[in-house]
C-alpha cells in the first residue's frame, strides 16, 4: 500500500465513522506492521484536524526503502582496485558519468573514492594523479546502508556525515550504491505523487 493510500484510507475511516460509527472497523497498515482498532473508540472521531495533520506528516516523510530506489535505478556498481592510479579512477568516473567509485578487493568493499577526494587530496596538494594510488586517497572504512533502510534515515546519514554516496550492502555483498541526488529525486517524486493523489481524493477522483 502506498503512502497516499494510508492517508486516504485514514481520512476515509474518519469520514465513515462520523456518518456510521457503529459499523466502522479501522485498519492502518504501516510497512509490515498492522494496527487495528474497532470503533468505538476511534481516537479522532471528534477531531478532523488531527486526521489531516497526520496526513500532512505522512506527506513530509518518506517511508520507502533503499530497495525501492534500487529497483528503479538499477544495481549497477562501478568499482576499482586500491592499487589503481587516481588518474585511472577519474578517467572511469568521467566515462561512466558517476561521482564516486567503490574500492573492492576479492568482492569485499574496502573503500570509496570520489571526485571530492581527488580535488582535496591530489589537486590541492599538488600531487600527480598518475603517480598516486587510489588506496592513498580513498575513504575507509565506508559508511553503508542495507536495502531495508528507509530513505529518510539515509538522508539523515548523508547529512550528518557530509557524504554524497552510500553503498548498499546485503549479506556482506555490495548490491548497489545510491547518491544523495538519487534520494532527493525519489523524495520529490514521491511527494509530488502523494500531493496529486490527495488532490484527486479531494475532488472525488480517487477510488476508495
Q: How confident is the model at residue 199 (pLDDT cuts 50, 70, 90)?
A: low
pLDDT at position 6 = 52
Helix axes 3-19, 48-60, angle to 10 degrees: 180
Pair type for strands 165-170 and 108-114:
unpaired
Residue ranges and CATH numbers for the domains of the chain are 3-63+186-202 (no CATH), 67-185 (3.10.580.10)
Instruction: Summarize the confidence of residues 167-187 as an average pLDDT.
Output: 93
Q: pLDDT digit string (tens) for 183-192?
A: 988 888 877 7
Residue position matching grid coordinates 532527493 = 184
What pTM was computed for the model?
A: 0.66
Q: pLDDT digit string (tens) for 58-97?
A: 544 567 899 999 999 999 999 999 999 999 999 999 999 9
Amino acid at each position: 500500500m502506498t503512502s497516499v493510500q494510508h492517508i486516504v484510507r485514514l481520512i476515509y475511516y474518519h469520514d465513515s465513522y462520523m456518518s456510521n460509527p457503529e459499523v466502522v472497523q479501522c485498519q492502518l497498515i504501516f510497512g509490515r506492521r498492522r494496527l487495528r482498532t474497532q470503533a468505538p473508540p476511534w481516537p479522532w472521531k471528534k477531531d478532523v484536524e488531527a486526521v489531516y495533520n497526520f496526513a500532512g506528516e505522512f506527506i513530509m516523510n518518506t517511508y520507502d526503502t533503499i530497495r525501492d530506489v534500487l529497483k528503479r535505478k538499477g544495481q549497477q556498481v562501478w568499482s576499482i582496485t586500491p592499487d589503481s592510479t587516481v588518474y585511472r579512477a577519474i578517467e572511469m568516473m568521467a566515462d561512466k558519468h558517476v561521482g564516486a567509485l567503490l574500492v573492492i578487493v576479492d568482492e569485499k568493499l574496502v573503500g570509496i573514492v570520489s571526485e571530492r577526494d581527488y580535488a582535496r587530496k591530489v589537486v590541492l596538494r599538488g600531487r600527480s594523479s598518475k603517480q598516486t594510488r587510489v588506496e592513498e586517497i580513498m575513504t575507509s572504512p565506508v559508511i553503508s546502508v542495507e536495502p531495508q533502510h528507509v530513505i529518510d534515515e539515509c538522508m539523515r546519514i548523508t547529512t550528518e556525515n557530509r557524504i554524497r554516496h552510500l553503498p548498499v550492502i546485503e549479506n556482506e555483498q555490495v548490491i548497489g550504491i545510491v547518491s544523495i541526488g538519487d534520494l532527493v529525486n525519489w523524495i520529490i517524486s514521491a511527494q509530488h505523487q502523494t500531493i496529486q493523489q490527495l488532490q484527486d481524493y479531494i475532488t472525488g477522483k480517487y477510488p476508495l
